[in-house]
Amino acid sequence: METRKTDRPAPGRPPKQWYGELAGVAATALALGLGELMAAATGGPSAPLVAVGGVAVDAAPTPVKEFAVAVFYTYDKLALQAGIVLVLAVFAAFIGVLAMRRLWYGLAGVAVFGMIGVLASATRPSATWAYPLPTVAGAVAAAGLLVLLRRTLPRRAAVSAQDLGDDTGPGDDTGPDTDVAAQGTHTPVRGAGSPSSDTGNSVLDGAGQPPGRRRFLALAVGAIGAAAVAVPGGRRLWAQRVAAARAAVVLPSPSSPAAPLPAKVSVGVPGVEPFVTSAADFYRIDTALTVPQMEPRDWRLTIHGRVKRPLTLTYEQLLARPMVERYITLACVSNEVGGELVGNARWLGVPIKDLLDEVEPDDSADQVVSRSVDGYTAGTPTAALRDGRDALLAVGMNGEPLPVEHGFPVRMVVPGLYGYVSATKWLTELELSRFSDFSAYWVRRDYAALAPVKTQSRIDTPAAGRRLEQGLVMVAGVAWAQHRGVSAVEVRVDDGPWQRAQLAAVPSVDTWRQWSWPWPATPGEHRLQVRATDNTGQVQTGQVHEPLPDGATGRHTIKVTVA
Ligand SMILES: Nc1nc2c(c(=O)[nH]1)N[C@H]1C(S)=C(S)[C@@H](COP(=O)(O)O)O[C@H]1N2
Ligand SMILES: [Mo]
């Protein structure tokens, strides 16, 4: 061991802090990369980044989420992940600097880091005993790399690891870099600034740098590079497995197929959203930071709680049951008037009513709490699931297995209720409960416990702000009042009288309905407004209200200029 006195840093050349910062970032990157790779073997949510991110999403207060939805239109995963990575990097750099000065401090930092990851992954709703493993392995690797980097730390002619801090304990503190440097000014310095000094440490390489620097950089950059490959690589690996499993799914034919669509479901006006929304165009709203990737063979649904006969089903068992196929329009409570968070698809699935009949719910169980693999919850009135509407455990969307983003392998779809109280994706659990006993995810965040879809209508064409030529203009769009059905749509120009639009055909009361109205457009600026009436005779209200707590109201209004 070198003696301290002779190994003080050169005056004015303190060990650069960024070595420590780089070491910390490299070690953390290695941990995350290894964690992702290992998680690929056990399942996505166990990766430390995903686990910690999941906790962050669940902990974020409603206004933050609303802001995210408002700004990014859907809950923005990328921005959140970038934010998490940034915070991580700052912590990582701090730990690295600590480690380079006092190894044990740095390792303690890694341990704290690791504990956060372990706690986050172990408390993920789908957690198994294996969930903390990727984080633990990552933390061990990070600690190892820190030790290694510390040994490789460049020793300038006058700088030894000793000066950069050693592990002799807090009582033997050499202080932070600046102090070391300050002490150095009072200490005889061996070979300072001399490339030909007597220790190997002081020999500079061709670039005029000490050799340790190269090895340090190679190690650190190598670890970061490996992580940059491992993180997306691990995720891709897992996603590919799930994609392959999805491709291998053979959907059964429904025992109750959807009737062929009447030709007149379309008003035939260009610019109107198609009656059936393709999976690719279907809006997506969820709190999942990374799309939960679940293999059908790992999927289980347990139906339990206030029931006489709890039930667990495998995917195979679910597929073996009688299936129905229905067109159902899904809407998000966050949809603004005139917004696009609504879509219509042909769903294939098992009637939830049949399953509930089998488990024999208690009369007291007025709420069915559905849970997803990533811990999202929704609360649906038991009555709505048993009143004969086509509430489904859906496995198919538009003739394909559910897309992963839309809930593969199994999700709920319930006509007439907003998605947040009914349409749980990546479903794993149905618990018969009571509204007074449990508040679901968004209900805890100030949304209403009961949320039937409000009657709404939208002008798809002409687009707002358009300049049109005078003459006949086809005004057209969609209107929805799921499970009640749309009986009328009216349009008015400026403050003129409401005029009846033509309605397209619909297969049931559970879908949206296209409408069109020929407008003899006259020159000038005009305001076009639409309103729908449902089959109970209720006219869509003009009262303007934001989405919180149970759906936006008001009438879609656009301005156009006719030349
Ligand atoms: N697991 C899970 N399921 C979920 C959500 C979620 O955040 N997590 N969001 C719900 C909401 S708010 C809506 S509107 C619908 C949207 O379904 P989609 O993304 O398939 O359009 O999913 C519902 N199911
Ligand atoms: Mo939603």
Domains of the chain: 12-227 (no CATH), 296-445 (3.90.420.10), 456-562 (2.60.40.650)
Question: Taking 80 as the threshold, does the pLDDT of residue 72 lie above it?
Answer: no
Ligand 1 atom 24: the closest Cα is on which residue?
424
Question: Taking 50 as the threshold, does the pLDDT of residue 177 lie above it?
Answer: no
pLDDT of residue 127: 72
pLDDT band at 52 (very low <50, low <70, confident <90, very high): confident
- Which of 57, 73, 286 is the pocket-test mutation for ligand 1 (most atoms within 8 Å of CB)? 286
Question: What are the pLDDT digits (tens) for 125-155?
Answer: 667 788 888 889 999 999 999 999 998 876 5
pLDDT of residue 549: 97
Q: Is the CB of 277 under 6 A from ligand 1?
A: no
Q: Is the CB of 28 under 6 A from ligand 1?
A: no
pLDDT of residue 119: 86
C-alpha 250/C-alpha 265 separation (Å) is 29
Q: Is the CB of 126 under 6 A from ligand 1?
A: no
Question: Taking 90 as the threshold, does the pLDDT of residue 69 lie above it?
Answer: no
Residue type, 252: P
Average pLDDT score over the chain? 85
Ligand 1 atom 16: the closest Cα is on which residue?
285
pLDDT band at 78 (very low <50, low <70, confident <90, very high): low
- Better-scored residue on pLDDT, 319 or 215: 319
Task: Report the nearest atom of ligand 1 relative to the CA of 426.
Answer: 1
Question: What are the pLDDT digits (tens) for 536-552?
Answer: 999 999 999 999 999 99
Pairing outcome for strands 471-480 and 456-461: antiparallel
Question: Taking 70 as the threshold, does the pLDDT of residue 261 lie above it?
Answer: yes
Question: What are the pLDDT digits (tens) for 268-325?
Answer: 999 999 999 999 999 999 988 778 888 898 898 999 999 999 999 999 999 999 999 9
Average pLDDT over residues 165-180: 34
Ligand nearest to C-alpha 289? 1
Question: Taking 80 as the threshold, does the pLDDT of residue 514 lie above it?
Answer: yes
Q: What is the CA radius of gyration of the chain?
A: 31
pLDDT band at 123 (very low <50, low <70, confident <90, very high): confident
Question: What are the pLDDT digits (tens) for 335-384?
Answer: 999 999 999 999 999 999 999 999 999 999 999 999 998 778 999 999 99
pLDDT of residue 302: 93
Ligand 1 atom 1: the closest Cα is on which residue?
425
pLDDT of residue 130: 81
433-467 exposure pattern, b = at least 16 Cβ within 10 A, e = fewer: bbbeebbbbbbebebbbebbbbbbbbbbbbeeeee
Residues composing the chain? 563
Give residue 195 CA to ligand 2 midpoint distance, Å: 67
Average pLDDT over residues 427-455: 95
The least confident of 43-52, 168-177, 224-233, 422-431 is: 168-177
Question: Taking 70 as the threshold, does the pLDDT of residue 179 lie above it?
Answer: no
Question: Taking 70 as the threshold, does the pLDDT of residue 506 lie above it?
Answer: yes
Question: Taking 70 as the threshold, does the pLDDT of residue 2 lie above it?
Answer: no
Give residue 551 CA to ligand 1 midpoint distance, Å: 15
Q: Note the Cα 354 to chain centre separation in Å.
A: 31
- Better-scored residue on pLDDT, 152 or 223: 223
Q: Concatenate the DSSP letters of all residues of 322-349 into one string.
A: --EEEEEEEE-TTPPTT-S-EEEEEEEE
Q: Is the CB of 441 under 6 A from ligand 1?
A: no
C-alpha 39/C-alpha 33 separation (Å) is 10
Residue 248 has phi, psi (to 5 degrees) of -85, -10
pLDDT of residue 46: 67
Q: Is the CB of 376 under 6 A from ligand 1?
A: yes
Q: Is the CB of 344 under 6 A from ligand 1?
A: no
pLDDT of residue 167: 36
